[in-house]
């Protein structure tokens, strides 16, 4: 996967990780970055070579009990036991993480990418273009610690890209919005300008938006498989099946991710509010602090809706995400209480582990 023989710094190693690795170094362990993952099998690079790695029994037990399995992009402490085999003993603290709630009923965090500098939120300007979905991605990513950048791909098949950009409204003032056509090779230089030596960029978006095509253009080779897009529904086949770090010619690494069929939020309410600062500012001007923006007198939010300066769909999207995160917080609380609830007889669930 990683061509040549990169140094640790080429893989994103910084003083942040060096300081947190000191204790593991004293134990004789080596630092490495996770390039790919297949269940509990990992491919790790230590700046000299790639090694296939498994978790130690102790580390796996701790991860199962408390969470914290390595994800692609993570730095780990490992012990090599042959030229190309190793055992991972610890996970280094993350500089940042891009997460979502796992699909379904479980209240569990899924790390999409770890230790990322820039996150490209790719949307296709075809029949599937949805400004509300872009808002949701931006809200989910603003609190991640990575720099979000919106990429509107497929300008070559969009009759009016400027109108599509205008539909994003206040989002344009919060994050950079780039226009591109990977198929026609347009707008790629603007994307490349965010790719720097030793830094990591990640691409997320729904299936069929063109992430893998953009990546192939950046790499200069057909590295990532792409699928045909149905002209009937504008949907591409789901091709990328796993996350992996890939070096970019000239420096930097990129991460492709499988198309997200849904992005269930994982975070705090303030993360969402930061993506809807215009609505927050209006709410602060309401006559009543606990205004529900329904029939209350002196409601600045309702006034903006009536004046046409606030889109009803944007307000509904904001309120929907707030409800989702409140429900998530309740589920997290009860899951935590259930986990620590004593067993009959007064024993704690962890006493016999």
- The better pLDDT of the pair 113, 12 is held by 12
- Residue 244 falls inside a structural domain: yes
Among candidate residues 64, 91, 118, the one where a domain is terminated = 91
Q: How far apart are CA 96 and CA 112, in angstroms?
A: 11
Q: Which domain range does residue 308 map to?
A: 269-339
Of 10, 63, 56, the closest CA to residue 32 belongs to 10
Q: Are residues 62 and 104 in the same domain?
A: no
Asked whether residue 2 is assigned to any structural domain, the reply reads: no
Is the model more confident about 323 or about 235? 323
Please identify which residue in the block is written with the tokens 């004293």.
Answer: 26
* 297 or 105: which leads in pLDDT: 297
Q: Supply the pLDDT for residue 231.
A: 39
- More confident site: 111 or 116: 116
| 141 band by pLDDT with thresholds 50, 70 and 90 | confident
Statement to judge: residues 167 and 214 lie in one domain: yes
Query: Which range among 19-23, 105-109, 239-243 has the greatest average pLDDT?
Result: 19-23
CA-to-CA distance for 180 and 198, rounded, in angstroms?
25
Q: For the chain, what's the residue count?
A: 353
Average pLDDT rounded to a whole number, residues 299-324:
93
Query: Which residues does 34 contact at the CB level (< 8 Å), separation at least 6?
Result: 42, 43, 44, 70, 71, 72, 73, 74, 75, 76, 114, 245
Model confidence, pTM: 0.81
Residue 140's pLDDT is what? 83
How confident is the prediction for the chain on average, in pLDDT?
A: 84
> What is residue 267's predicted lDDT score, i.e. its pLDDT?
64
Q: Higher confidence at residue 110 or residue 286?
A: 286
Whether 172 and 317 share a structural domain: no
pLDDT the model gives residue 333: 66
| Res. 264 pLDDT band, cuts 50 70 90 | low
265: confidence class by pLDDT, cuts 50, 70, 90: low
**Are 159 and 190 within one domain?**
yes
Q: Please determine, for residue 346, whether its predicted confidence score (pLDDT) is greater than 80.
A: no
Does the pLDDT of residue 88 top 60, yes or no? yes
- Number of structural domains (the chain) is 3
Tell me: do 110 and 77 sit in the same domain. Answer: no
Domain edge (last residue) among 201, 229, 256: 256
Same domain, 15 and 134: no
Confidence grade of residue 353 (pLDDT, cut at 50, 70, 90):
very low
Q: E-assigned strands of the chain? A: 30-38, 41-45, 50-55, 75-80, 85-91, 97-101, 109-114, 118-124, 147-153, 177-179, 200-204, 244-247, 253-256
Q: pLDDT band at residue 68, thresholds of 50, 70 and 90?
A: confident
The whole-number average pLDDT for the span 122-138 is: 90
Are 122 and 81 in a shared domain?
no
Q: For position 221, what pLDDT does the model report?
A: 78
Question: E strands of 81-219, at which residues?
Answer: 85-91, 97-101, 109-114, 118-124, 147-153, 177-179, 200-204
Q: Looking at residues 322-344, what average pLDDT do you find?
A: 71
CATH classification at residue 107: 3.40.50.300
> In angstroms, rounded to a whole number, what is the distance separating the alpha carbons of residues 72 and 89?
16
Is residue 110, in this structure, part of any structural domain at all? yes
Q: What percent of the chain has pLDDT over 70?
A: 81
Exposure string of 256-278, with b = 16+ CB inside 10 Å and e = fewer, is bbebbeebebbbeeebbbebbeb
Q: Is residue 40 part of a domain?
A: yes
- Helical packing angle, 312-339 and 300-307, nearest 10°: 140
User: Given pLDDT bands bounded at 50, 70 and 90, which one contains residue 73?
Assistant: very high
Say if residue 105's pLDDT is above 50: yes
As a whole number, mean pLDDT of residues 127-144 equals: 87
- pLDDT above 90 (res 167): yes
Q: How confident is the model at residue 145 (pLDDT cuts 50, 70, 90)?
A: confident
Task: List the single range of 154-163, 305-314, 316-325 with lowest mean pLDDT.
Answer: 316-325
């Amino acid at each position: 996967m990683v061509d040549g023989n990169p140094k640790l710094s080429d893989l994103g190693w910084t003083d942040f990780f060096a300081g947190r690795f000191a204790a593991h170094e004293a134990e004789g362990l080596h630092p490495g970055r996770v390039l790919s993952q297949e269940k509990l099998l990992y491919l790790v690079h230590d700046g000299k070579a790639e090694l296939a790695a498994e978790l130690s029994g102790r580390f796996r037990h701790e991860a199962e009990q408390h969470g914290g399995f390595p994800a692609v992009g993570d730095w780990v402490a490992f012990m090599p036991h042959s030229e190309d085999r190793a055992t991972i003993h610890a996970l280094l603290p993350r500089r940042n993480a891009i997460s979502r709630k796992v699909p379904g009923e479980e209240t569990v965090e899924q790390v999409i990418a770890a230790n990322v500098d820039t996150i490209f939120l790719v949307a296709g300007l075809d029949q599937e273009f949805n400004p509300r979905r872009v808002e949701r991605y931006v809200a989910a990513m603003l609190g991640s610690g990575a720099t979000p950048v919106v990429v509107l791909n497929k300008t070559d098949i969009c009759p009016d890209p400027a109108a599509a950009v205008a539909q994003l409204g206040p989002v344009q003032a919060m994050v950079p919005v780039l226009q591109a056509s990977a198929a026609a090779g347009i707008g790629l230089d603007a994307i490349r300008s965010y790719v720097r030596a030793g830094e990591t960029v990640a691409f997320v978006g729904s299936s069929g938006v063109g992430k893998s095509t953009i990546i192939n253009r950046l790499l200069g080779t057909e590295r990532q498989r792409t699928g045909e897009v149905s002209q009937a529904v504008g949907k591409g086949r789901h091709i990328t099946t796993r996350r992996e770090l890939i070096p970019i010619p000239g420096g930097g690494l990129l991460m492709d991710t499988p198309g997200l069929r849904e992005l269930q939020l994982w975070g705090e309410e303030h993360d969402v509010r930061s993506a809807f600062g215009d609505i927050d500012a209006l709410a602060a001007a309401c006559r009543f602090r606990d205004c529900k923006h329904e029939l209350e007198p002196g409601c600045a939010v309702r006034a903006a809706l009536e004046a046409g300066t606030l889109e009803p769909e944007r307000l509904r999207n904001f309120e929907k995400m707030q409800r989702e995160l409140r429900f998530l917080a309740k589920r997290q609380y009860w899951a935590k209480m259930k986990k620590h609830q004593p067993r009959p007889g007064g024993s704690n669930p962890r006493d016999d582990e």
